[in-house]
Amino acid sequence: MKTTILLFAALLIPRSAAAEDPNSETVFRALVDEMKRTVSRLEMEKLGKPYFVAYTAMDSKRLSISSSFGGIKDPHLSRSRHLKVELRVGDRKFDNTHYAGKDYWGYRPHSGGLVTDADYDAIRYGIWQITDRAYKEALERLSQKKAYKQSKMIKEEIPDLSKEPVRVSEEPVGEVPFERKLWEKRLRKLSAVFKKYPAIQRSYVNLYWTQRRHYFVDSEGRRVLKPKHDFELVIGASTQAKDGMRLSDRRDFIRRRLEDMPPFSLLEAEVTKFAEDLSNLTTAPLLEDDYIGPMLLEGQAAGEFFNQLLAHNIAFPREIWVQEEHARKEFHTGGLTGRLGLRVVSRFLSAEDDPGLKSFEGIPLLGHYRIDDEGVPAQRVALIEKGILKDLLMSRAPTKKRANSTGHGRGAHWEFPTAHISNLVISSNKTMPLSELKDELRKQAREFGLDFGVVIRRLRPENAQEKNELLAAPVMVFKVDVKTGKETLMRNAKFSGVTLRALRDIVATSAKRHVYNYYQLGPYKASGRGQVQASIVHPSVLVAEMELKKSDKKPDKLPYLKHPHFN
Amino acid sequence: AQRVSLVENGILKGFLLSRSPIKGFPKSNGHGRRSAGQGVVARMGNILVESSISVPYSKLREMLIQEIQKQKKPYGLIFEDISGGFTTTSRSGPQSFKVIPLLVWRVYPDGRPDEAVRGVDIVGTPQASFQKIIAAADDTGIFNGTCGAESGWVPVSAAAPSILISEVEVEKKFKNSEKPPVLPPPHHDPKERRRKR
């Protein structure tokens, strides 16, 4: 009851930050007024009013600059206001959500642009249009979903929307002026690094600097104002090996705020390292024979290993129904979420997900937030203890085993919120310095009867996975001689036969842990859409047994003329 | 760019040409156009249609009513505004066009006032349609717009008088069954207007 009283006070009297900013105040007023009209009067032919409506308006200012070989390409500053409407008909127990039907690509909330001015009438006019479409589609979907449930004889009843306490929250939006000239200068300098590398055919350094303000209201009385900033610097390059084989790689630096970026000198060193690595790959020998044996995954490679195998499978616990069986794989349900109480990783590993953590050993964590995209306060979840899955990350979509949200309901602005990881922190009880881990790799490879073991230092991201792959191909793969420890870079390797068992085959980890800041993809397998900011804190890992095989990609002809800069 | 005489006294005399020659026309006349990133195609620039015989518009309307009576039709149509249209030009498709009118009037021969009609598209084939133009007015109108093809969109103009066509084929427009909005727009909702903004 207390919350309800607080809530009404908050709706009538706009609080500090919004009150100071007339634009925010106007947006909230338009959202709340149209939402009230929607829940009280929006009804077509006695088919029922919406029982729940949530509006998310996103104000976005974005600076994007591309650069290549020392020059700037299409710098662009844009501004927009966008509305997402989540509207539910039916009731908490059974509504129009979690059902995609045959509409795989259209399974997303209704959304559209709003005016960017602080114009109450014009904003409400836009909200009305999008809400009307959302309502009609919700009715259609609910009747299709009922028919689906009957035709598939589904008896089990899992509710569609959990009950959660109502909170009102405002965070400072902390916007700063864009330093466009400065970053153009820096990008020219960073992209010019490639002028020293004749082996690279294409290269770019791009900046995407976005400052967003999220306004969230729902018909249960939640109201949230929060920033969602994003500063992304992407280094990418592609080329061909001497035999014509295509090679490419990219590196992202993603932070919430500009001031969290590494110093410029470090960025410059990273570009140099990146260009060197890719150049070295062009002359690296091919993996000749398939490999089965121990594998050491270091740094980013271990981060992607945990992302693609663990994070992707402990997120998305709620199944989305689809009309046709073959489409089920387009909507991923976390492969480990049905294994509560079972061992999912090696016995000496534990993991928690803590959105409240801002940094780890001084490095900012991208997955930090206070309130999720459904207006639920973020909670720390002790996910895995001594290898056993103890809990699940939850949004407001209940599952068979859990009824309530843990404040992990997030999604890209164009998507339904769903349970994502935030800061997934992995800890280990069986650690050693990295050099000893490498010795251990050689020892285990020798026991396997092998002449060499394998170290992987970079993996391609999740969206580079090929069909039916659980783990995308490695980029930087090294043979390690069991006798001498000498490393040889190899190319043309991809994983084979990877299953979630690899997580239980981890035999030791490094003591040092890394921070992997990245975008976790949504559960939509085919499109890879719906990414959210996330972090994994993880050690490097030694896996007892993994397989590599030769890629079957065919090479392309080399460019006819030589690189003009080095001719 | 060059001025090209395309049709003289109803007879086809030339083509708009880019640097892709066709039989009998080995040179460009400067009509190779495209939007950025697309391939060049011979496109129109300013098309001017002139009539050697013309009448005032009021006379053209009288002629329309006479034609309705002559053909013993219940009514005729005046197309006042058009939103666009397209022509199929590929060899595999039918060489036909569709024009999408915005404002169409139904004209009765018995002096009843004209009625606005909606949901009408004009369809036909170019050569048969051109043969059926029976008169033109002296009121040249100008169209400025963009026209799309394999070359992407290019800015174009056309100038032509009102014309009387003895016979056109029309068909019903595609119609979706979407319902109008359930609630009135918030700004015009009588129950909302009393609220203080």
pLDDT of residue A65: 97
pLDDT at A441 exceeding the cut of 80: yes
Amino acid at A547: E
Q: Does B179 sit within 8 Å of A44, measured CB to CB?
A: yes
DSSP helix/strand/coil, B136: strand
pLDDT of residue A330: 84
DSSP helix/strand/coil, A113: strand
* A129 and chain B in contact, CB less than 8 A: yes
pLDDT at A329 exceeding the cut of 60: yes
Q: What percent of chain A has pLDDT over 70?
A: 96
Q: What is the mean pLDDT of residues A522-536?
A: 87
Token readout for A349 is 């590993």
Quick count: other Cβ atoms within 10 Å of Cβ A124? 24
Categorise residue A361: left if φ over 0, alpha if ψ from -120 to 50, beta otherwise. Answer: left
CA of B113 vs chain A CAs: smallest distance (Å):
37
Q: Looking up tokens 């009715």, which residue turns up?
A: A139
Q: Does A37 sit within 8 Å of B181, measured CB to CB?
A: no
Give the tens place of pLDDT for each residue, B157-171. 999 999 999 999 999
pLDDT of residue A103: 78
Q: What is the mean pLDDT of residues B29-41?
A: 95
**CA-based Rg of chain A, rounded to a whole angstrom?**
25
Q: What percent of chain B has pLDDT over 90?
A: 79
Give the tens place of pLDDT for each residue, A309-326. 999 999 999 999 998 888
* pLDDT range class, residue B195, cuts 50, 70, 90: low
Chain A, nearest residue to B184 by Cα: A128
Whole-number Å distance between alpha carbons of B193 and B190 = 5
How long, in residues, is chain B?
Answer: 197
* pLDDT range class, residue A20, cuts 50, 70, 90: low
* A252 and chain B in contact, CB less than 8 A: no
Q: Looking up tokens 């009121």, which residue turns up?
A: B139
* pLDDT range class, residue A527, cuts 50, 70, 90: confident
Longest Cα–Cα distance of chain A, Å, equals: 79
* pLDDT range class, residue A219, cuts 50, 70, 90: very high
Quick one: DSSP state of residue B137? B
* pLDDT range class, residue A387, cuts 50, 70, 90: very high
B120 neighbors B152 (Cβ within 8 angstroms): no
Chain A, nearest residue to B186 by Cα: A125
pLDDT at A292 exceeding the cut of 80: yes
Give the tens place of pLDDT for each residue, B121-147. 999 998 899 999 999 999 999 999 999
Quick one: DSSP state of residue A291? E
Q: What is the mean pLDDT of residues B94-106?
A: 92
Q: Does B185 sit within 8 Å of A125, measured CB to CB?
A: yes
* pLDDT range class, residue B176, cuts 50, 70, 90: confident
Whole-number Å distance between alpha carbons of A108 and A129 = 17
pLDDT at A197 exceeding the cut of 70: yes
Quick one: DSSP state of residue B36? T
Probe site for chain B from A33, A128, A133 (most B CB atoms < 10 A): A128
H-type helices in A42-179, by residue range?
120-151
Amino acid at A263: P
CA of A120 vs chain B CAs: smallest distance (Å):
8
Token readout for B117 is 């009609």
Chain B, nearest residue to A120 by Cα: B197
Chain A, nearest residue to B191 by Cα: A37
**What is the average pLDDT score of chain B?**
92
Surface-to-core class of residue A507, CB atoms within 10 Å of its CB (0-12 exposed, 13-18 middle, 19+ buried): middle
A199 neighbors A282 (Cβ within 8 angstroms): yes
How would DSSP label each residue in A175-244? -----HHHHHHHHHHHHGGGGG-TT-SEEEEEEEEEEEEEEEEETTS-EEEEE--EEEEEEEEEEE-TT-
Q: Looking up tokens 């992209």, which residue turns up?
A: A191
pLDDT of residue A416: 95
Phi, then psi, of A110 in degrees rounded to 5: -70, 140
A426 neighbors A418 (Cβ within 8 angstroms): no
**What is the average pLDDT score of chain A?**
93
Give the tens place of pLDDT for each residue, A407-440. 999 999 999 999 999 999 999 999 999 999 999 9
CA of A173 vs chain B CAs: smallest distance (Å):
25
Q: What is the mean pLDDT of residues A383-405?
A: 97
Name the residue facing A44 among B178, B182, B187 (closest C-beta): B182
- The H or E element that residue B169 is part of is strand B169-172
User: What pTM value is reported for the model?
Assistant: 0.89
Q: Does B195 sit within 8 Å of A125, measured CB to CB?
A: no
